[in-house]
């Protein structure tokens, strides 16, 4: 990480840093973040000029087919983190710490956060939770690893929350979220994801803290936005959350392409001459004589 500003140019972009995140907030410029789990997707969004890529534990649901994010392991996260880091050279890369990789002890939290940088090619890590994670956040940061917080709907606590439900909808819950945001800021987090909280609360929190907030289902008053890329591309067929704007329907496109391919094979339209390797007549005659 070498520079302090975010370039929007698609070629020769400078590396985006955590400091650049802060500077964007100070300048009132929105931060654009997306998830990625593989090399070609990471490369495409890096070339498009994305500020930051999250190798999210949403991997579990949208790419590995699990019911929720709980089953994904550190080794699986690192496997995908490495692929993303090979594809994206400019975006700030954030590795999402999976369930049980940081809850047991601060030592394990530091060790696993370190693996994201050493073995996964990430620049920073993200973990879920508020005040109960302050010690882990402090310990990881004291090891020199930038941490992004995540409060509101925290999918790893789906069973405790009683489902994927919006958070912070009562005055008491909103007050607690604001306190958590300040605690994470004081603990040294460089940024904070606010997921599925009322827009007016997210805007209020964003104005109360100096670190950039990144919203998902939290309205336009956040300092930046993140979406799960498979939702944005229409690649995840199980459900689309209300807060997702779908920019493409890749699932339908894939179905169409696969059906055409099957038809071409069955009707022998594929492979055509242009897809075929030739052999000279001389060599052929030598072969068959
Ligand atoms: O795992 C993920 O993709 C996330 C985002 C929804 C913020 O945590």
Atom of ligand 1 nearest to the CA of 69: 1
The verdict on whether 195 is a catalytic residue reads yes
Q: 231 C-alpha vs ligand 1 centroid, how far in Å?
A: 11
Distance of alpha carbon 148 from alpha carbon 213, whole angstroms: 9
Q: Please indicate, yes or no, if residue 222 is contained in any of the structural domains.
A: yes
In a shared domain, residues 177 and 108 = yes
Write down the pLDDT at residue 12. Answer: 65
Q: Do 227 and 109 fall into the same domain?
A: yes
Do 136 and 261 lie in one domain? The reply is no
- Catalytic annotation, pick one of 29, 67, 128, 195: 195
207 and 260 share one domain: no
Residue 207 lies in a domain: yes
State how many domains the chain has. 2
Give the C-alpha distances (Å, rounded to integers) separating 41 from 53, 72, 184.
Answer: 10, 20, 31
pTM greater than the 0.85 cutoff:
yes
57 and 172, same structural domain? yes
Structural domain including 167 reads 18-248
Residue 33, pLDDT score: 98
Largest CA distance in the chain: 89
pLDDT by position in tens, the chain (length 289)? 334 444 444 456 999 999 999 999 999 999 999 999 999 999 999 999 999 999 999 999 999 999 999 999 999 999 999 999 999 999 999 999 999 999 999 999 999 999 999 999 999 999 999 999 999 999 999 999 999 999 999 999 999 999 999 999 999 999 999 999 999 999 999 999 999 999 999 999 999 999 999 999 999 999 999 999 999 999 987 888 889 999 999 999 999 999 999 999 999 999 999 999 999 999 999 999 9
Examine the domain organization and report whether 233 and 209 are in the same domain. yes
Residue 252: C-alpha distances to residues 127, 239, 263 (Å): 33, 14, 16
Residue-level pLDDT at 173: 98
- Name which residue sits closest to atom 4 of ligand 1, judged by CA: 56
Q: Ligand 1: which residues within 6 Å by Cβ?
A: 35, 54, 56-58, 96, 193, 195, 216, 226, 228
| pLDDT for the residue 61 | 96
What angle do the packed helices 171-187 and 199-208 form, to 10 degrees?
Answer: 30
* pLDDT for position 241: 87
Residue 120 and residue 141 share a domain: yes
pLDDT for residue 8: 44
How much distance in Å is there from the Cα of 164 to the middle of ligand 1?
Answer: 13
Tell me how far the alpha carbon of residue 161 lies from the centroid of ligand 1, in angstroms: 16
pLDDT of residue 246: 95
């Amino acid at each position: 990480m070498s520079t302090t500003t975010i370039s929007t140019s698609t070629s020769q972009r400078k590396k985006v840093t955590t400091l650049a995140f802060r500077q964007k907030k100070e300048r009132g410029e929105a931060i654009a973040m997306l998830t990625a789990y593989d090399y070609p997707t990471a490369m495409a969004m890096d070339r498009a000029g994305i500020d930051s890529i999250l190798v999210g534990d949403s991997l579990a649901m949208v790419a590995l087919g699990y019911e929720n994010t709980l089953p994904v392991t550190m080794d699986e996260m690192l496997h995908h983190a490495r692929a993303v880091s090979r594809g994206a050279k400019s975006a700030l890369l954030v590795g999402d710490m999976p369930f049980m990789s940081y809850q047991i002890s601060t030592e394990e939290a530091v060790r696993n956060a370190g693996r994201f940088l050493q073995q996964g090619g990430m620049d920073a890590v993200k973990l879920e939770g508020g005040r109960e994670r302050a010690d882990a956040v402090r310990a990881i940061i004291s090891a020199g690893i930038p941490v992004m917080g995540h409060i509101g709907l925290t999918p790893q606590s789906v069973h405790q929350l009683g489902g994927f439900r919006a958070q912070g909808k009562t005055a008491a819950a909103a007050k607690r979220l604001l306190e958590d945001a300040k605690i994470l800021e004081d603990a040294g987090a460089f940024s904070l994801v606010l997921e599925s909280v009322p827009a007016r609360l997210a805007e209020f929190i964003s104005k109360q803290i100096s670190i950039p907030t990144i919203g998902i289902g939290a309205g336009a008053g956040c300092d930046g936005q993140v979406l799960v890329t498979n939702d944005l591309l229409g690649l995840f067929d199980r459900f689309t959350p209300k807060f997702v704007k779908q920019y493409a329907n890749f699932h339908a496109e894939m179905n169409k392409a696969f059906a055409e391919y099957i038809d071409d094979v069955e009707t022998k339209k594929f492979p055509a001459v242009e897809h075929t390797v030739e052999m000279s007549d001389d060599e052929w005659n030598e072969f068959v004589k």
